[in-house]
A and B are shown apart, each in its own frame.
Chain A
């Protein structure tokens, strides 16, 4: 039998490296942008333009137009290929009058903006604060539900605290890595944390916890069935029996997500990518972290018990 649990030191090492890298990305983001994550206008308030020009444009030229209209602080990025002539501009909240002036100035000094292919979004800082608060509530509610769900699932299992704590540790491990990945993409692609990112994280967290619970459930069944086997073996057996199901079902969701990332619109690409990464890390954290943690805990207590009797 292939022994995954035996390799747990490897998993723990890999995870530790990933977590350090993730935290490192967040620290870098903190240094560069003043926050551990680049927050979108949903949360901070401000305006986001995606401008599709009819001709070539340059960053300084765009910046000059915005500065001339009272918006000196802008973050300007090219989107897609250079020949797309598509640029993303972030600035503080704009008024409709400013928008009007900006569009006419851009047409005059840079290149005409194709309004049919352009978007802008403007959010007042007050709403941003409210959305942030709502997000906080949503996360808290979700966390309470998830922890409650885990507690409920294992209320009759011996050492239920171990399972619960391991499941939660695996969940946080997955969360940190997804957030770290997003921080990295913030550097590379300018991805910002918006309400959709939050959605992705909450969705995959619920999947991943579900996955962990399925594996723990199988351990519970197998303890009764294979009474003579050591716990490590039972745990490993349980992983192998359920991993098939985990991988096969996720494979289909992954097919769909990759299709959306490759062929779908750019707008939801960060959202789906976060979900894909979350799903992969979530599955990994079920068999690589959650179950091995329970095994390690079990062995540590046995070890201590043996020492105590010796």
Chain B
């Protein structure tokens, strides 16, 4: 028995040291952060993640804008997600999230965005694919142009970065000769002048993806009407360049080798990778998004507001927990002091877990943590009240301690289970539907409840046993210290 307590004490001490070390607001060594194998590679770090309500930013939920009841296939959703992610990456923000939720929703989180409305427009906007007449001068890949259908949306508007290899040397059609060598400029240059749009993505009927000895190529077929127009145009413009422009940015600029009748053509991509070729094919096929997306919910929080919320929560937490610590000390004296130690360890363990897991903290999440801390002493109180009863009934301190823990156990177990059940219901409610705030609360409350089982039972009991072994006789004669 004694030996078990000693081992437990050592384990608790080590856990406490580890938790405090993780909690410290310092730069932890990279090798340590790399041990967190469950976190995504490259983004492993020991830090608290704040939700959008605490750091400010934009959260948008986009839904597939198809008639009620119509199925949206997973591939289209995933493609749409990738395209949205590309656009989001173009905004140049850190720690953005783009994920599919349920069958037909895409959730986008953009922390620290300056212009939420512009971001929404960019994310949702249907990218426009155009074939423009460039005359005899090929345009460099990445050039931003103005066409007869309008100019770039906004000069600072981030353009969709096309997943095409810079060395890709497209030719059109089927021509073996490489006509244009292109290099990707680092910054897109805006070319003055208005280029005539011959066709748009809406004129494409079918788009495929194939490869031959030369690498990947995208065969396409135009709709009947457009095919005639294309045939006439190519017949009269042999030797000139026809540029493929997506959202006013040139993605390739092949030379017309000969008239293309029948509306069939191909865009060769040279040594592009499968992902790049597939990405382009998808964009060509769908004119950008495979399914129309509608903004379903949008939430923006000013960054300063988030900061203020964090400060206020920390202050409220410190005040609230201090009162709890003080109350326990005054009301249960020595026992309360031990419970306080356990509560401090509880808080440290929770914070450490938030950093390691990681748990994204939201305002209701912090409330859930604080509340669970307030209730963490619940188990202690159940035990202490039982202990006091037993001591009054004339039992020795040691016997009262064991009896207190044993007899209070069922009550503690029941109350913890009922909280965990409530959390499970809430978590389910928060996960599946638009109420993500609820999820944060349920998660921190549930984590707190489970950690509490450890600190309130194992830790407190070990501490008290040790205390009684060291100072049991002394306490026996000073029962007021145990508030009996």
Contacts and interface: CB of A to CB of B under 8 A. Distances in A.
A249 B316 contact: no
Interface in A115-136: 115-124, 126-127, 130-131, 134-135
B56 A256 contact: no
Nearest to A244: B385
B296 A119 contact: no
A195 B317 contact: no
Interface in A182-233: 195-196, 198-199, 202-203, 205-207, 209-210, 213-214, 217
Contacts of A255: 320, 323-324, 327, 374
A23 interface: no
Given A99-B117, A264-B367, A256 B320 contact: yes
A82 to B, nearest CB: 19
Given A127-B296, A202-B425, A206-B419, A253 B374 contact: yes
Nearest to A98: B117
A272 B367 contact: yes
Contacts of A134: 429, 432-433, 435
Contacts of B426: 138, 199, 202-203
A122 B429 CA distance: 20
Interface string A23-50: 0000000000000000000100000000
A258 to B, nearest CB: 8
A253 B299 contact: no
A141 B320 CA distance: 33
Interface stretch (B184-192, B203-211, B218-226, B306-314): B306-314
Specify which of B297, B300, B414, B445 lies most central, judged by the most chain A CB atoms within 10 Å of its CB: B297
Contacts of A296: none
Contact of A145 (B300, B304, B415, B421): B421
Contact of B422 (A42, A126, A142): A142
B297 A260 contact: no
Contacts of A245: 381-382, 385
B39 interface: no
A252 B378 contact: yes
B422 A256 contact: no
A305 interface: no
B414 A210 contact: yes
B303 to A, nearest CB: 6
B298 A256 contact: no
A95 B297 CA distance: 10
Interface residues of B, number: 69
A207 B385 CA distance: 19
B337 interface: no
Interface in B446-471: none
Contacts of A263: 312, 315-316, 319
Contacts of A156: none
A199 B296 contact: no
A257 interface: yes
A50 to B, nearest CB: 8
Contacts of A214: 411, 414-415
A267 B425 contact: no
Interface residues of A, number: 67
Interface of A (DSSP majority class): helix
A63 interface: no
Nearest to B362: A268
Contacts of A135: 429, 435
Contact of B120 (A96, A258, A259, A275): A96
A251 interface: yes
A287 interface: no
B130 interface: no
Contacts of A260: 313, 316-317, 320, 367, 370
B302 A119 contact: yes
A122 B59 CA distance: 10
A137 B305 CA distance: 33
A18 B303 CA distance: 42
A207 B53 CA distance: 28
A173 interface: no
Contacts of A272: 367
A252 B425 contact: no
Interface string B340-371: 00000000000000000000000110010011
Contacts of B296: 123-124, 126-127
A206 B378 contact: no
A145 B305 contact: no
Contacts of A127: 61, 63, 296-297, 434
Contacts of A205: 422
Specify which of A95, A97, A126, A260 lies most central, judged by the most chain B CB atoms within 10 Å of its CB: A260
Contacts of A213: 414
Interface in B359-402: 363-364, 367, 370-371, 373-375, 377-378, 381-382, 385
Contacts of B319: 259, 262-263
A117 B306 CA distance: 8
A121 B299 contact: yes
A271 interface: yes
A124 B374 CA distance: 37
Contacts of B370: 256, 259-260
B295 interface: yes
Contact of B312 (A100, A209, A265): A265
B377 A252 contact: yes
Given A145-B425, A206-B419, A267-B363, A256 B295 contact: no
A119 B428 contact: no
B375 A195 contact: no
Contact of B323 (A131, A138, A203, A259): A259
A259 B317 contact: yes
A271 B435 CA distance: 14
A86 B300 CA distance: 16
Specify which of B63, B295, B305, B331 lies most central, judged by the most chain A CB atoms within 10 Å of its CB: B305
B305 A116 contact: yes
25 contacts: A116-B303, A116-B305, A117-B304, A122-B295, A122-B297, A122-B299, A123-B434, A131-B433, A131-B434, A138-B428, A141-B425, A145-B421, A149-B421, A203-B426, A214-B415, A245-B385, A248-B385, A251-B327, A252-B377, A256-B320, A256-B373, A259-B317, A263-B312, A263-B316, A268-B367
Q: Which 9 interchain pairs have the tightest Cβ spacing? A: A259-B320, A256-B374, A195-B435, A256-B320, A116-B304, A134-B433, A264-B316, A206-B422, A138-B429
Given A131-B433, A262-B319, A265-B313, 20 more contacts: A96-B121, A114-B304, A116-B56, A121-B300, A122-B299, A123-B434, A127-B61, A127-B296, A127-B434, A138-B426, A196-B441, A198-B438, A245-B381, A245-B385, A255-B324, A260-B320, A263-B312, A263-B315, A265-B308, A265-B312
Interface of B: 53, 56, 61, 63, 116-117, 120-121, 294-305, 308-309, 312-313, 315-317, 319-321, 323-324, 327-328, 331, 363-364, 367, 370-371, 373-375, 377-378, 381-382, 385, 411, 414-415, 418-419, 421-422, 425-426, 428-430, 432-435, 437-438, 441-442, 445
